[in-house]
Amino acid sequence: MPEKDGSVELPAPPRLVPPCARQSLPAKGSCWYCEKPLDSVRRFCGKSCADSFDEEAEYTR
């Protein structure tokens, strides 16, 4: 059985994921995908529009 040299193997650091394109969008008062009116904080009216926006952005890269 080989001896250990006393060093401790640390787990790999988590991969840094670049922010989604949708996170850098400013809130504009309407959904960025379907244009449904929104408050001045939200960018999308729901998860389906946000996911569709991401899918389209990836497709049109």
pTM, two decimals, is: 0.62
In a domain, 18, yes or no: no
Residues 24-38: tens digit of each pLDDT: 899 999 999 999 999
Q: Which of the two residues, 2 and 7, has the higher pLDDT score?
A: 7
Which pLDDT value is given to residue 17?
39
| Domain of residue 35, residue span | 26-59
Q: Which helix (H) or strand (E) holds 48?
A: helix 47-59
Residues 5-27: tens digit of each pLDDT: 566 666 655 544 345 677 889 99
In the chain, the number of structural domains is: 1
The four Cα atoms 20, 46, 28, 58 give a dihedral, to 10 degrees, of: 30
